[in-house]
Structure 1
């Protein structure tokens, strides 16, 4: 099992030191989310600072960038990492894509499927010199040597997508190389939806489900004292309050036995009562969605829950406290 650390993009002047520290601590790789800063520039800096580290975008927003621009960027990162870069893509939500990025969002699932195919067609074109993709959303059929990065001495980058609902999971099994599971992907959800839906999509495309990486972020509460774990628990409670307010994720909470959680969180959110949102998250919620342990027991606890399901574990809060990076790195070493 590969074990990555998750981070939001940093000022570029800090990224090199972070990448070197993550590599030295024992993580397999470093995963960059995309929020106020771009994931790709951070990955580029990290590729030069820590050459052996596996890097991924987890996830970069797809639609505001053309498939060709995304493919060319991923191609350069694959070359810079000697094949250790994974391209993780997601749709984001309508408000961000339309009102912040000024891009189209109609039919996001089918659009992302076509986008992934278009990106892979660009990879093929960089090697062959022929670009030929005609989909429902993207038509690409022009490339010349001057405007192609050309072949590289590395495999094509893996293209992973963020998926939550069964349709997107099946689509991932059909066209992608991996799935970024949401941080609230508790074990029951993985068994009910993620594994069978990916397998169904893979079978439709004549692929084996084992070809598709399952990338699972895990919320952890770890410490050797009650006080240490109590601090961690409150951070997890706040994260769950934020994620639980998204309507598209409501079915995950409902099926885990917490029906109505999303509605209650949204009511508090609309009232601007953010403390009230956090207060809606009980210790039972936390027990279902997070892994709690002492430091010595964390690797075994994660293995017991995710072995045989996750190809890559992403330790969601492993870099939140700079004083705990190396301890999380020991856990990563024990799992790989």
Structure 2
């Protein structure tokens, strides 16, 4: 398993310092999120500050940007990073795409399929392998004069990964993509009973197997050598599960484990403005399914035990948050990253 730190949006100079620190600590790479800031700019800043680290957007929002804009940006990032970039895309949810970005969303599954095929066509055209000639239900791309093409690069086209939770997107990732971004709120049962079978089903359509699809998995960790340290970590993870669990699309994560109605309970408190109540819905019984808990010396072994054979790339979600509070914590996280990467290649 490759091991990444998950980085959250920040000022670009701080992203560069983070990247240098993460490279020094021995991580394999950084996965950069997109919230209030642009993930692509963060990748560019980090790539220019490092020599070895891998980079992935985890994820960049697809639909508000045309495939041509996304493809051109990814192409330049692959060139700038000297082949160290993976393009991670997601649909986001309808409200954000339509009301925050003012873009079209529906139908998200077929639209994403067309988007991926358009990206592949653009990459071929940039490299000079074929004229641009994509005809899809949502995107029609046939014009690429030489002066408007970024031109060939000396590296492979960026791998394309998509975020997927439900069956359609999982099968799409298996069929058309290089990898899948798994949601941070996932259980072992979800990986084995839903994600992997659906990925394999999609991969079979393209005469591929499950192992041909990279699985990029962020993990929520509860770590500490005493109960006080672990409780602070536990509180953060409980909040994250409550926030993620308020989204109807993720209700299946609770339902699969026998906690039917959990999303409805969280949303009821959310509508009442009761954030404390939202968090209280996430009991310890629920939380244990979505987290890995251990002492520092045992964390690498716990991660390997849970994710060996399931993750191609493990993304340490909590490490990025800890770095934001205290950069000195990165050395500890680096020890974990190196141990996991070495023991579970």
Output the TM-score relative to the length of structure 2: 0.96
Residue 276 of structure 1 pairs with residue 277 of structure 2: yes
Q: Secondary structure at the match of 1:45?
A: helix
Residue 125 of structure 1 pairs with residue 125 of structure 2: yes
Distance 1:79 1:235 in 2: 37
Distance 1:293 1:255 in 2: 25
Contact 2:8 2:320 in 1 (8 A): no
Q: Secondary structure at the match of 1:317?
A: helix
Distance 1:198 1:274 in 2: 35
Question: Residues 73-125 of structure 1, C-alpha deviation per residue, up to 9 Å, x if partnerless?
Answer: 00011011111100000000111101110100110011011101111111000
Distance 1:251 1:208 in 2: 25
Distance 1:43 1:112 in 2: 23
Cα distance, 1:330 vs. partner? 0.7
- Residue aligning to 1:54: 54
Task: Map 1:14-93 onto structure 2 (within 5 A).
Answer: 14-93=14-93
Task: Map 1:37-186 onto structure 2 (within 5 A).
Answer: 37-128=37-128, 130-186=131-187
Q: Alpha carbon RMSD of aligned pairs, Å?
A: 0.9
- Residue aligning to 1:230: 231
- Residue aligning to 2:192: 191
Q: Secondary structure at the match of 1:313?
A: strand
Contact 1:52 1:81 in 2 (8 A): no
- Residue aligning to 1:328: 333
Q: Secondary structure at the match of 1:319?
A: helix
- Residue aligning to 1:263: 264
Q: Secondary structure at the match of 1:27?
A: coil
Q: Secondary structure at the match of 1:318?
A: helix
Distance 2:298 2:249 in 1: 34
Runs of 4+ in 1 over 4 A off after TM superposition: none
- Residue aligning to 1:297: 298
Cα distance, 1:209 vs. partner? 2.1
Distance 1:5 1:191 in 2: 24
Distance 1:130 1:182 in 2: 36
Distance 2:207 2:321 in 1: 41
- Residue aligning to 1:5: 5
Q: Secondary structure at the match of 2:6?
A: strand
Distance 1:44 1:9 in 2: 13
After TM superposition, the structure 1 stretch with the greater mean CA deviation from structure 2, 68-77 or 126-135, is: 126-135
Gaps (5+ residues) in structure 2?
none
Output the TM-score relative to the length of structure 1: 0.98
Gaps (5+ residues) in structure 1?
none
After TM superposition, the structure 1 stretch with the greater mean CA deviation from structure 2, 128-137 or 302-311, is: 128-137
Distance 2:198 2:19 in 1: 34
Cα distance, 1:246 vs. partner? 0.5
Q: Secondary structure at the match of 1:259?
A: coil
Cα distance, 1:186 vs. partner? 1.1
Contact 1:48 1:80 in 2 (8 A): yes
Contact 2:91 2:108 in 1 (8 A): yes
Cα distance, 1:291 vs. partner? 0.2
Contact 1:185 1:216 in 2 (8 A): no
Question: Residues 112-169 of structure 1, C-alpha deviation per residue, up to 9 Å, x if partnerless?
Answer: 1110111111100001161111111111111121011111011110000000001110
- Size of the aligned set, in residue pairs, is 336
Question: Residues 8-27 of structure 1, C-alpha deviation per residue, up to 9 Å, x if partnerless?
Answer: 12111211101000111111
